[in-house]
Structure 1
């Protein structure tokens, strides 16, 4: 239902296929012998010099000079983390499939219908995420070195069937030009606009560079920004898109859980991030973001430290990680305690440090719960943020929640609409997908953030796309 001006011979489906990585580790009697079970705590592949300094629930681990962490230790940590993930059978991948050529066509058809509804003649986009969404060409795929100064534009021009009044599909049309021609006037004088009895109205993507927008305006076009149903055409996800988002986000979360089982004292933030990235790759996903922060490092929500802080029994571990599958993004966050710190019994005496951490963990979880309840059709984006912010403020930590509660997610990890308390004009629609990620950040102490992905489902509770939410600091 659209006429698309796309000057490329790339197959629309060419870059969308991926494959699972084979298992690359082997479990032998030798590695089995390295499992140490002490007081019900499993630490895979490592030997500890264990000292229980008291009869309390606080336990300390110490190393003799010969018990330093070696490269072999690190390799075994990675092997067990990967094996744990692969041994799940990767069920989260079963209902995900790559985007097809037909999917791209259907997207442009929906866009054409939205353009007609907005009384707009064309939608114009240059290589980037939106071009990737409608035409499968990203900026690096078009020009790997840097964005081109020569405009390369895809123009989606709806053509109406005179009988039904509905847009319909036509073959690709290319508007060529010589190097010395003005690209914008060339487009304006092409036969694309034959029969348009007004100044042509072009809607440009939000990623469009300013000099291109000004060039189109100077050539006589009426240029407007992204709005209304045209913006929603990408924000509202199809069943295939939801399937991929569920797979990549559930898989990313499962990788974190399985890796956590293998943690041991002395690991650094950087070492954990490296192993988690490789676990994602082993399951067929490609990591693009991995933030691992311990205690006070996590009081800066997205890090900025050297990654060399060392894991200890009462360390609060914050992991914010994202990967790609079939071009779609995961973006999840968990805050948890290491597996070698035993979960205390109810009413047990806790250290002040641990007691405060557990209190804040619960507050952030409740804030996330309340934000999720607001993810319904026709509620405002602002209301989702405010619901979480009210919980944290009433608990006395309002000034420590320093960012919005969430954002849209799809082929970009961060895309519109954005869930901030100032976004009072955007209404949520069925099919939109969002993060919910409230946090509390106590400078020089620790930070807590929980992040899950949710699908708006009318007036019902939103659908979780991360498998399940955290169950507690010992079960993320």
Structure 2
């Protein structure tokens, strides 16, 4: 994929400047002298450009105080011409093969006490920066940027809303493709094409888990032939041009479900997912949303078949903070967006999951996915 496709729609310079300022403030509050941000979603969030991570160092040097600098190979500079560096107050520092980019960063920083490197920085660059920065303590930038990225602004929420509507339109068409005699891979290919048709830049992931494959939460697609009576988990998502992602799961039955237990179990799952969504409001700990879904499933006797957390944050990454999991005491706040996706899985037989992306509002919750949640029984 080209770098240009990764930043097809960038935020306005004023929005980026605000993000940079908030990141610097967060670094200062954390006692960190500078953030060193590698290519990826953090870089895209801060400057509107994700870049690419290779053996040559590219990093945004974002000091708590002082002028930020974008350090990158000179040969990569043409790919960053859309970044409004002047308006953002970022100095461009290029280097060529044979020069030491780590020393360039270290000289820029002076004598830092603590620097925070992006969570997804290649070990090659982490170690190079560590050697160049001498006695500076290295920490992760993730905990600093988490507070900045978790609460989405109106523009980000609009992009997530757009992504949710796009993936809903795809789910509305799944019944056209899911039928006996077709393979999971064939259905997945139809879904992939439809995701682009309905407004996604591309499909990030496609899960079509039929029959026993539905009991594997992170199944992909396979050559398994779909049979009449199969329960099928369809979990799909990807970015819209703004870079923000959809992620939505619905469960289908190809004709009446073969297993007589499906109706009863699915009713439990549906109640758990609804209750978890209804529990979302400002001030509620993230872990309580997980507990709400888990209590209903456990009380019905299926607790050992709910084998993953209830949800994850979403934005420029499909999975990001906060994680809706037991023990997470983070109070939910307006603008935080995440999935609510309990599942029940019967190993070797079938599985079911229901997933919506929701956002915390000032007084409750908004769902970005609005397709019916009931088991979709298709003609077969």
TM-score (norm 1): 0.67
C-alpha displacement of 1:363? 1.0
Q: Which has the higher contact order (CA 8 A, sep 6+)?
A: 1
| Residue in structure 1 matched with residue 342 of structure 2 by the alignment | 438
The alignment status of 1:252 with 2:193, answered yes or no, reads no
The alignment status of 1:152 with 2:58, answered yes or no, reads yes
Secondary structure at the aligned position of 2:192 is classed as: helix
Secondary structure at the aligned position of 1:337 is classed as: strand
C-alpha displacement of 1:104? 2.6
In structure 1, the gaps of 5 or more residues are 1-9, 18-97, 162-168, 342-350
Aligned equivalents of 1:392 and 1:401: distance in 2?
8
The alignment status of 1:401 with 2:314, answered yes or no, reads no
Report if aligned partners of 2:210, 2:231 keep a CA contact under 8 Å in 1: yes
CA-to-aligned-CA distance 1:204-232 (integer Å, 9 cap, x gap): 22222344334434423232223655321
Instruction: Considering fraction of residues, name the structure with more helix.
Output: 2
Aligned equivalents of 1:184 and 1:378: distance in 2?
43
C-alpha displacement of 1:357? 0.8
| Residue in structure 1 matched with residue 104 of structure 2 by the alignment | 186
Q: 1:170 to 1:272 in 2, by over 3 A?
A: closer
- Aligned ranges 1:193-212 → 2 under 5 Å: 193=110, 199-212=112-125
Aligned equivalents of 1:107 and 1:361: distance in 2?
43
The alignment status of 1:272 with 2:187, answered yes or no, reads yes
| Residue in structure 1 matched with residue 19 of structure 2 by the alignment | 107
In structure 2, the gaps of 5 or more residues are 68-86
C-alpha displacement of 1:325? 0.3
Report if aligned partners of 1:452, 1:469 keep a CA contact under 8 Å in 2: no
After superposition, the CA RMSD in angstroms is 3.0
Q: 1:224 to 1:425 in 2, by over 3 A?
A: farther
C-alpha displacement of 1:446? 0.9
CA-to-aligned-CA distance 1:52-103 (integer Å, 9 cap, x gap): xxxxxxxxxxxxxxxxxxxxxxxxxxxxxxxxxxxxxxxxxxxxxx633443
Q: 1:228 to 1:293 in 2, by over 3 A?
A: closer
The alignment status of 1:465 with 2:368, answered yes or no, reads yes
C-alpha displacement of 1:239? 0.9
Q: 2:148 aligns with which of 222, 229, 233?
A: 233
Equivalent pairs counted in the alignment come to: 354
| Residue in structure 2 matched with residue 173 of structure 1 by the alignment | 91
Look at both structures and tell me which one has the larger radius of gyration over its CA atoms: 1
Aligned equivalents of 2:330 and 2:372: distance in 1?
26
- Aligned ranges 1:69-468 → 2 under 5 Å: 99-138=11-50, 141-142=51-52, 147-159=53-65, 171-177=89-95, 179-180=97-98, 182-190=100-108, 193=110, 199-218=112-131, 219-220=133-134, 221-226=136-141, 230-261=145-176, 263-285=178-200, 286-303=202-219, 306-312=222-228, 314-326=229-241, 327-338=243-254, 353-421=258-326, 423-458=327-362, 460-468=363-371
Report if aligned partners of 2:36, 2:115 keep a CA contact under 8 Å in 1: yes
Aligned equivalents of 2:226 and 2:371: distance in 1?
29
CA-to-aligned-CA distance 1:300-358 (integer Å, 9 cap, x gap): 2222663322241x3212101112202111111000224x65xxxxxxxxx8x454111
TM-score (norm 2): 0.82
